[in-house]
Structure 1
């Protein structure tokens, strides 16, 4: 059984070996010219101000939560909508179970969205 996967393992080892070899060759032959400007911290074209330990605003997380809510909703609703016709063709029980599962799923997403709205995630001040 292991002999069937031997070519695969050999190819993975060869790929890692080639990648490591190319990195080391580039490190050995490539130019290395450090300077004060190259060693200084750089962030979005501006000099960093303050410490890296600053806390993010809660607004950042709320916007991320809105994105996740709508992204997850689309990812799960589209295949369900495409296959809903087959649930209807299978009979009333399959369609009822399918609709009830999606209703619970949408309820959880709407609760998350309501929480986000109440916390001010959609207020774009």
Structure 2
């Protein structure tokens, strides 16, 4: 128990030190001028606007990817213990509920058309 407390203390102190370093470095203001605030395109003058609208469908697909990437992280520990008897019935029910919820999300996205690559 004492080793855990020491490691937690060291982690918290490291976070505070990094926070303070960032604050101190941030107090030295950066030079803001016409050159610093203009977009840079290989030394040439910018062509067009730097605020180009992006596809909303691409954004939604990226969000879906992040959600299902996180669910893989949530499922990985369950897959590691599912073969043994160390997982009780509430663990199986929780895993089943998570899988039903994720499958329902996939069905919803499929019906909505967010998983279509064309059009």
Q: Are 2:102 and 1:79 aligned?
A: no
The TM-score, its normalising length taken from structure 2, stands at 0.56
- Change in Cα spacing, 1:115 to 1:83, as seen in structure 2 (3 Å) is same
- 2:104 is matched with 111
Cα offset, 1:106, TM superposition: 0.8
Higher relative contact order (CA 8 A, sep 6+): 1
RMSD of Structure 2 on Structure 1 (CA)? 4.2
Q: Which residue of 1 aligns with 2:92?
A: 99
- Residue ranges of structure 1 left out of the alignment (5+ in a row): none
Structure 2 unaligned regions, length at least 5 = 1-8
Max Rg structure: 1
Aligned residues: 103
Write the distance in 2 (CA, Å) between the matches of 1:38 and 1:105: 48
Q: Provide Cα deviations, 1:55-96, integer angstroms capped at 9, x if missing partner.
A: 862x1343033213321221111111112244x156xxx1x3
Distance 1:18 1:76 in 2: 32
1:1-125 matches, within 5 Å, as: 12=16, 16=20, 20=24, 24=28, 34=33, 38-40=36-38, 42=39, 47-49=47-49, 57=56, 59-86=57-84, 88-89=85-86, 94=88, 96-125=89-118
TM-score, structure 1 normalization: 0.54
Question: How much has 1:120 moved relative to structure 2?
Answer: 1.7
Which one has the bigger helix percentage?
Answer: 1
